[in-house]
Amino acid sequence: MAISSIGPTLVLGGARSGKSAFAEELIETLGLPMHYLATGRAFDEEMRERIALHRAARQGKGWTTHEEPLDLVGLLGRIDEPGRAVLVDCLTLWVTNLMMEERDVAAEFAALASFLSEARSRLVFVSNEVGLGIVPENRMARDFRDHAGRLHQIVAAKSAEVYFVAAGLPLKIKG
């Protein structure tokens, strides 16, 4: 499966759905220099192990890895150039980081939307679809779900293609 040459691609799915592997495969088929922008932070041992597994899976495949938990738009701007493919994994971890640092989420989303209109790289974004379950019981979790939903709408509107991945099976829902 190949991605469009025009505009970003958004890959959504639940936890352990296969969305990251699918997104990596999309990028690897392009034959372009590959950049992996990781937004996760290791707050505990389990997350450190997850990050290590992700790094190991890309080892020797030609990826240049950038780790940036907060300044997503700034880093994208610094590495953006024609003939380059960039995978951002993942937007929901970025939202978590922004919320934990009490950043202006709406302003960060607006900056990303503005960048997407001008981006020159082939961009693929991975994110967890969190709006399909029950309403969370606490305010922070509801705010997170709402922020993620708004961000997905922004990125999907700017994307040429959107996929939903479940059980390792991608379903193209836009493009």
Question: Which residues are CB-neighbours of 68 under 8 A, at least 6 positions away?
Answer: 37, 38, 39, 74, 75
Cα–Cα distance between 124 and 53 in angstroms, integer? 20
Q: Are 124 and 26 in contact (CB under 8 A)?
A: yes
Is 152 annotated in the active site? Answer: no
| 3-class SS letters over 20-57 | HHHHHHHHHCCCCCEEEEECCCCCCHHHHHHHHHHHHH
Q: Are 169 and 109 in contact (CB under 8 A)?
A: no
CB atoms near residue 116 (< 10 Å): 19
Which among 35, 54, 66, 152 is annotated as catalytic? 54
Q: Are 169 and 19 in contact (CB under 8 A)?
A: no
Q: Which residues are catalytic?
A: 54
